[in-house]
Structure 1
Amino acid sequence: MLPDEPRQSTGPAPEGGLPGCYRHTQTATGITCTRCERPICPRCMVAASVGFQCPECVGEGHAGTRRATTRFGGALTQHGGLVTRVLVGINVVVWVLAAYVLRPRLAEVWSLASAGRDVSGGPYGIADGPDQWYRLVTATFLHLEWWHIGTNMLVLLWLGPPLEEALGRVRFLALYLVAGLGGSTFAFLVAGDWMQSLGASGAVFGLIGATIVMQLRNRAALGPAVAFLVFNLVVTFSRPTIDWRAHLGGLALGALTAFGLMYAPRARRGLVQGLTLAGALAVEAAMLGVGMALYGG
């Protein structure tokens, strides 16, 4: 039966001479669906631009409607910045636990710590094997000083919402995690024989790199984003206590991942973006593998 062909109720007709609703056959109705002309009762009718439609026709109409997305393929949301705020909340909760409640135990267990096999007592931490690789992720949510978490979260709150709005929640979260993991694995590759590090700076630097890529993609002014990056790089290399390896690793993986997410052609956007994320994870796995060959037991 064609969609526009009238369809009659197969149930018994109710009393009163009016036809019965095609779904509730005992309910008499004088209203028909403007699309398929089946009788519909008040429980079934859905307001349309002209008259009413039945639930099936409404569903068929929605099935042919293209879902609205952001410029880079993410789902549109009414409340922007939700993932950013959740990430800030997680970081703050972990900071309170590590700095005041479970100090120093949580920092010892979650930090980006590693000692190679040639170090007395090694291998330790990440170099000790897969049971310790969780540190590559947990360290990116770990802070001990108020100024450290304050600085990182201010930058996250500044850069996160525009990127999340452009990419969508899922892609933005993937970018953040890939950048953080990139900073951790690069730091392990370079200094896994002896290192102790923590903080979300690698992920934050990844957002800086992604912001520059987005400005390029949108043909917007690059000056402020580049100046902010240069300032942070100067600070990074001017203080010996800052782990520059995590900053550079996060910056590189964040920028490269953002490039793949934002420059993916519309016709094959999902495929290219998926391959971009898979490629970034493969690079990080390779850095971890080389680091284990150099420092592991």
Structure 2
Amino acid sequence: MNPQPPAPTCYRHPDRVTGLGCTRCGRPACPECLRSAAVGQHCVDCVRQAEGQVRPVRTVAGAVAPTRPTPVVTYALIALNVAVFALTAAQAGSLLDNDLSPIFRDWTLIPPLVGHGEWLRVLTAGFLHFGPVHLLINMFALYVLGRDTETVLGRTRYVAVYLVSLLGGSAAALALAPVLSSTAGASGAIYGLFGAMTVILLRLRQSPVQMLVLIAINLFISVSLPGISLWGHLGGLAAGTAATAGILFAPQWLQARSPESARAIGWAAVAAVAVVTLVVIVAAGVQRAL
């Protein structure tokens, strides 16, 4: 009489007898090591291998699309702006007159001071705000625009577009605003997000009319109300629009042959906008120092 073959045991738990098996690799496995699949059941190793072979879903900008997008960068930028405002208000001892604080005095964009070597003002001025109303308006706009822009562009590109827009607003204010003007606020960066969202809508083949109307209304307000930096708004709008167009359209225009080359072209376009912005800042700063 032939001996009875041994009962199969789980490939991960040799001490467990099982009559089940993976429908993908055929190895015997206990219920703990199996997962339901579209056809039959797969072992945990096959499930892990299949997950590693799934290509990530990417947005039109080439960023990996998160399954549950959380605008972490937008929230961080809002928190940073609020923290800086709270610090200036504490130093000044007033919410309304927070511009009297030492930080405000040292960070705001004043063209002659930038020209005499205080170049960091072109960046720090973008995190200052004149009073709580100015802060609330800008942070609400950042919250509304930033969430979708960050999701489409991805966090790294979003940060790049935001900073390039901020510098673009500072460059225009430095070059074209009155010499003794004092410019502060995140408006330049936020206008850059207006431009970025318009480009995103065009790339997605959706109507940008509502966004264009919103931009026009805000520019009209900038012209109508005194004390608002129109040039800073226009500079941020131009820089943000150009940088985002470089990310979303330049790879098509240059006929990129792979996702990697498309991403490289997009980054090169953002870098080009940043270089132009910095050249304008240096040239304007030197001119204002004379």
Alignment TM-score > 0.5, same fold:
yes
Q: Distance in 2 between matches of 1:43 and 1:153?
A: 50
Q: Which has the higher helix share?
A: 2
Report the Cα offset of residue 250 of structure 1: 0.3
Given candidates 26, 31, 34, the residue that maps to 1:37 is 26
Q: Which residue of 2 aligns with 1:95?
A: 85
**1:112–1:197 Cα contact (<8 Å) kept:** yes
Q: Which amino acid aligns with 2:103?
A: L
For the aligned residues, what is the CA RMSD? 2.9
Return closer, same or farther for 1:270/1:240 CA change in 2, 3 Å cut-off: same
The 5 A counterparts of 1:122-141 are 124=113, 126-129=114-117, 132-141=118-127
Q: Which residue of 1 aligns with 2:145?
A: 159
Return closer, same or farther for 1:150/1:48 CA change in 2, 3 Å cut-off: same
Q: Distance in 2 between matches of 1:147 and 1:240?
A: 15
Q: Distance in 2 between matches of 1:258 and 1:93?
A: 28
Q: Distance in 2 between matches of 1:42 and 1:33?
A: 10
Return closer, same or farther for 1:114/1:33 CA change in 2, 3 Å cut-off: same
Task: Please say which of residues 140-149 and 190-199 is displaced more in the overlay.
Answer: 190-199
Given candidates 154, 159, 164, the residue that maps to 1:178 is 164
Report the Cα offset of residue 190 of structure 1: 4.1
Q: Which residue of 1 aligns with 2:282?
A: 289
- Measured against aligned partners, the alpha-carbon deviations of 1:41-89 in whole angstroms (never above 9, x if no partner) come to 4453333223332333223322322211233333333245443333323
Q: Which runs of 5+ in 1 are unaligned?
A: 1-15, 116-123
Q: Which amino acid aligns with 2:263?
A: G
**2:116–2:289 Cα contact (<8 Å) kept:** yes
Report the Cα offset of residue 22 of structure 1: 3.1
Q: Which amino acid aligns with 2:247?
A: L
Q: Which amino acid aligns with 1:17?
A: P
- Measured against aligned partners, the alpha-carbon deviations of 1:177-223 in whole angstroms (never above 9, x if no partner) come to 22112212333344596442110010111112223223333443343
Q: Distance in 1 between matches of 2:208 and 2:49?
A: 46
SS state at 1:36 partner = coil
Return closer, same or farther for 1:64/1:79 CA change in 2, 3 Å cut-off: closer
**1:192–1:295 Cα contact (<8 Å) kept:** no
Q: Which residue of 1 aligns with 2:95?
A: none
Given candidates 217, 231, 236, the residue that maps to 2:217 is 231
Q: Which residue of 2 aligns with 1:259?
A: 245
Q: Distance in 1 between matches of 2:31 and 2:277?
A: 58
Q: Is 1:105 paired with 2:102?
A: yes
Under a length normalisation based on structure 2, what TM-score does the superposition of the two structures give?
0.79
- How many residue pairs align between the two structures? 271
